Structure 1
């Protein structure tokens, strides 16, 4: 559509340039005066026609009378017969068989061409009407340059409008896709724009609905399984009361308690209320200070480095849970816990540091797997079941960010959270 519009503008400007430079004879103003003059001279005496033609001539149109056709100087053309609007002129003259010849400025050899119209009167004599050619008053070169500039301006305008019409729905599409990456419960994108973009948006909305349905079904199924496992565990504990061997009984109870802890953590993970809250503007620096004050009440000092105020749009409960999990790990398994908050142009970074033993390089990603626990610094005796980091990374990713672990120089671990601004 944009290409057709640009071509239409180009044709319009070219036609306009041609008409203004050499308009057709019917648009030159010459035909409008012919009928009345011809009727007047045709009714007059031949002897007075020369004086009458001088009287009706003016600066725009010159009229000359010739007794015969041989005395008229006109260029030689293949078809001098006047065809355009000739029927209307003949009706005005009431002479349907009258001979009429027409000449354009381009018919004349060399410069100085003009419009000329020859018309035969009833007695066989001829009248010649002529007027100077019209143009912009410019030479051909500047005139063509103006036409080219008009064509380029029209093409640029059409391209700009087409680009804006195409870019706006693409921008909305991209924003909707980013919104879904941050919040999987985001509403579908409104299908607007050209047909191809609307089809892409509809396909994306269908994919989004399928993913939402899949996540909901999976979460409900896993939560139901974890919930239903409580019943056989309760029966196992009741049956364990009848075991006479105290050592075997304690081993069974430890296994039941561990499985119960894993189920409770799984239920908390699958039914995480932090994932159900809506994103809202919050002061991330104040949230960190609140956590530090809570730990200080437990006689745990945490160093903080960062701006006194940092506004971010996110889920307060989820972000608080992420920082609490990382700080708990730094306190339990490390030492000298510290939080560093940094703000950049495109993202903000939250780093939780400690001076513990760190993690083997090949396990830095493996610790994010559900129920994975390290056998050395982070073991079963701590009470963890291996879902804390998985839950924290899931919450961070729902914010469109990333959670990674890095060993520090000199010993210790760095948990780095990056969130898009």
Structure 2
């Protein structure tokens, strides 16, 4: 097995789901690391993880072990831009706001364990404890001799609180998951969209080319199966067309001989009956062959103006002194087979003119479908026959006279063409008498 084929065989939907989950996790970690590196102090860990607690404890232990006269100078020496340290002999020397509970609670146990001796009094203040603006972070630690160390920071430099940090991490996880999911679903959705588009194209044009097998293994297998079915249908249609062409030739030859032999019949009445039967058989054969072979179904789907086609049909009948009303937009571009749809409309209009009066055409469209109605005022068709009239060779009139009703293939051919466009042909009796024939076509693209 080649490397390319092996890679394709491993490209499955299950593998993509697993990779999507893994990539989402890795991307979330990468975003979090990037946030820590680029966002500065706001992404740093909380106070207990910053090393500041250890630094405060070390300074306190060192100054507590020194002589009282050296403590102010030592406090000044360990101060820097981020943290100011001052020593005070009594608590009253330190000006701090009055708060309900200045005791240091968060991570205080860890700090107390680092202090020597343990159990010292600790107080903590934050900017909101000061009235007005200009508050600061402050930490007071009582030394063993009762004096105090004051640690003060104008700005907090040890990062966000745990709550905001968790919210940011959750947001980064969601963002990374959405990004990876969009990429993965696009990878899976694109071949499915191509598959659906190819299937719709084949519904409009049976000579459409096969669909390219792309995407994960399962989707490629479905596309290959569809292509095989499409090839079989195309082969069947080709064989049927060739067979019907042969039938056309084989049946017309004996009919021609029958007509020639009828010329030798001396009885004029019997001769006319024979010629009538031969003509009737010839008409039935031609109609049947036209229905099964139907050159209109062989044309390629193209973009054309359906409204103009319907108006042209109405104008053609108007030239024959048959007034047909058209109701619809002046222009409507549709993708389909114009010759086939023209035959559908012609068959429906012929029935409306032959069996009814006041024929009319209505055209409406929206984003999903196009509706063409052929309406008339006449006797209509009983509801029980609305489906039966679409069967080949069925006629509500029992005679086979071509002048009164043809051979019963007009509606069958019309529905077959509409179905090949992926649409529907429905009949409905009108209020007040008459019939409505509605052609409902889906909106497709090339």
Map 1:161-310 to 2 at 5 A. 161-310=183-332
- Pair 1:335-2:335 in alignment: no
Within the candidate set 4, 17, 22, 1:4 is matched to 22
Map 1:377-392 to 2 at 5 A. 380-382=402-404, 384-392=406-414
Deviations 1:28-64 (A, max 9, x none): 9xxxxxxxxxxxxxxxxxxxxxxxxxxxx998xxxxx
Change in Cα spacing, 1:380 to 1:153, as seen in structure 2 (3 Å) is same
Q: TM-score when scaled to structure 1? A: 0.68
* Alpha-carbon offset, residue 230 of structure 1: 0.8
- CA separation in 1, counterparts of 2:380 and 2:402? 17
1:373·1:380 contact (CA, 8 Å) conserved in 2? no
Ranges in structure 1 where 5+ consecutive residues have no aligned partner: 23-27, 29-56, 60-107, 115-134
Change in Cα spacing, 1:277 to 1:155, as seen in structure 2 (3 Å) is same
Task: State the superposition RMSD in angstroms.
Answer: 3.5
Deviations 1:40-89 (A, max 9, x none): xxxxxxxxxxxxxxxxx998xxxxxxxxxxxxxxxxxxxxxxxxxxxxxx
Q: TM-score when scaled to structure 2? A: 0.65
- CA separation in 2, counterparts of 1:165 and 1:303? 51
- CA separation in 1, counterparts of 2:348 and 2:400? 13
1:333·1:378 contact (CA, 8 Å) conserved in 2? no
Ranges in structure 2 where 5+ consecutive residues have no aligned partner: 1-18, 37-42, 52-77, 81-107, 115-156
* Alpha-carbon offset, residue 139 of structure 1: 3.7
- Pair 1:158-2:180 in alignment: yes
1:226·1:266 contact (CA, 8 Å) conserved in 2? no
Structure 1 SS opposite 2:373: strand
* Alpha-carbon offset, residue 260 of structure 1: 0.3
1:405·1:413 contact (CA, 8 Å) conserved in 2? yes
Map 1:17-416 to 2 at 5 A. 21=45, 110-111=110-111, 137-375=159-397, 380-382=402-404, 384-416=406-438
2:252·2:282 contact (CA, 8 Å) conserved in 1? yes
1:227·1:263 contact (CA, 8 Å) conserved in 2? no
Deviations 1:256-287 (A, max 9, x none): 11110011122322333322222222222222
Deviations 1:230-265 (A, max 9, x none): 112112222233334433332222221111001112
- CA separation in 2, counterparts of 1:377 and 1:330? 19
2:423·2:439 contact (CA, 8 Å) conserved in 1? yes
Change in Cα spacing, 1:152 to 1:322, as seen in structure 2 (3 Å) is same
* Alpha-carbon offset, residue 109 of structure 1: 7.4
